[in-house]
Chain A
Amino acid sequence: MSTEIREREALFSSKNIKLLKNPLSLSNPITVQVLGICSALAVTAKLEPAIVMAISVTLVTAVSNVVISFLRNGIPPRIRIIVQLVVVATLVIVVDQILKAFVYDVSKQLSVFVGLIITNCIIMGRLEAFAMANKPWPSFLDGIGNGLGYGLILIIIAFFRELLGSGSIYGFHLIPESFYELGYKNNGLMILPPMALIVVGVIIWVQRYYTRDLIEKN
């Protein structure tokens, strides 16, 4: 038994802040680790579903990280994936029901992609890589950080796709009618998933231009 007295770490020590901040840029789940791409392509045609998706994933990642972190010493290693899946699936069903109850339209737009949060690589990745080896509080921050990092990219993609593809932001028409009268047209390719991939590519490009450390050495 380890009964040594350790100094309590401050809740927002610099180490913990890093857990929260790193996933937003240096170890972003989408642009650096290239995880969770499928949902990033599927739900980003409009801003509203993207935001809802971002919040849902953030909550599920954070809460499942905490739960797994509490259970981490009791989970037999051979069945840990199953245990993690049960926890994630439970949370996703709760999120799904809440969405259906309060934002039914968005829930319909997101369709299967809420259910597919279960298989989102980011969540499983964080559970395996972080929550299984860390205390609940850092795990919580890690979950929030990664969820926000994912959500940030989702919202950037959705912003450009909705603006250029539908001429609106969050459902409000932003591009004035006079533009359309002059011959401007919405870009149909922006609505299609391939363009989301290209937007992700551009974000990665811009990010690497400013943070040279991320560029792989050949």
Chain B
Amino acid sequence: MKALRKLLDKQKPHFEKGGRFEKFHSAFDSVETLLFVPDKVTFSGSHIRDSIDMKRTMIVVFISLIPALLFGMWNIGNQHFLSLGQVPELWTAFFYGFLKMLPIIIVSYVVGLGIEIIFAQIKGHEVNEGFFVSGLLIPMIVPPETPLWQVAIAVAFAVVFAKEVFGGTGMNIVNPALTARAFLFFAYPADMSGDKVWIADKLDAYSGATPLGNALVGNFDQIPSTYDMFMGFIPGSNGETSVLMILIGAAILLATGIGNWRIMLSVVVGGIVMGLLFNWWGANEYMELPFYNHLIMGGFAFGAVFMATDPVTATQTKNGMYIYGFLIGAIAILIRVFNPAYPEGVMLSILLMNVFAPLIDHYVIESNIKKRLKRIKVLVSN
């Protein structure tokens, strides 16, 4: 550690104003603050500086993603060998999936951070840590066989149009990772949906449909058991299949106070209410699908834990969070059951509610102001 600090201190003058590599100041800064707590102190007034800055927050989210990530790697391999009719060893499967996913992760980070650094340099601020998590989220929500050039384009699109044009990390209206996914979904539907893309190099004869894909076309007898779907032994996007691993991630987020329990809870409640409503309605077979299955199919759990809780794009008021989460859950199930074009509705419902979040906040605050004004009036008139 000492040696590293010394090395950084030695290089630092080159990157400061007037130094040789002044242009790469933001890149250097991002590496330095990643490794060490910044030694910045406040000069005027009394402030408390907590060490839990954006970088530490992002690292906690990163850690909470790791269980789902590792399981996802194993599952890619597992599904691949199962489709060939083999039962793989644990490490064979994991290694296969690791090799499939690593290029996607590398492309995602290289392209995303590259663009971030360019923008930071032009605008003259430091590289923000925002992409640290987005860069890992994107590989986890795409199918294992996604072509790398498509990942690159989607990441570039998301970073530029979902984030940088609004002013960078913390200013974005919609979730960048989901924007990348939505871009891929609409731009290259052949590589993003159907029953061919969810298992890497599968045999043609083997059905590779996801539970949601089966439900959409009415193959309800082919939906895997609730246990399999909960554990994640199903084809799907890289990191989203295992509800168990996502719950471990959720526990880390909640224990550290980084994730918001109000949003997670209300998304789940929204999904359950909508599922029960459809169960009660029961107009077709899809509506009769047990409501708890909706929560463990597709990206519902992943979206509820890692996407909806994004503090930048979610609502900020407490009451607003309940409304926001509930609508995400409800709309997601609504899209799944009613829209024949989109098997999965979580991505679309979260993006939609991202857009509405400021509006919800506005009305929550307005109603609060009205309530307080009324209280004052009562007090004054007495």
Contacts and interface: CB of A to CB of B under 8 A. Distances in A.
B364 to A, nearest CB: 27
Interface of A: 183-185, 187-190, 192, 198, 201, 205
Most buried by A among B153, B165, B186: B186
Given A189-B186, A201-B165, 7 more contacts: A185-B190, A188-B186, A188-B187, A188-B189, A189-B183, A190-B187, A201-B161
B188 A187 contact: yes
B188 A192 contact: no
A183 B186 contact: no
Interface residues of B, number: 13
Interface string B144-165: 0001011001000000010001
Contacts of A187: 153, 187-188
A183 B165 contact: no
B187 A189 contact: yes
Interface in B182-198: 183, 186-191
Contacts of B187: 187-190
B161 A185 contact: no
B165 A205 contact: yes
B186 A185 contact: no
A167 to B, nearest CB: 13
Given A189-B183, A198-B161, A183 B149 contact: yes
A182 to B, nearest CB: 9
Contacts of A198: 161
A138 B360 CA distance: 50
A187 B165 CA distance: 22
A176 to B, nearest CB: 16
Most buried by B among A189, A201, A205: A189
Contact of B186 (A184, A192, A201, A205): A192
Nearest to B191: A185
A160 to B, nearest CB: 14
B144 to A, nearest CB: 16
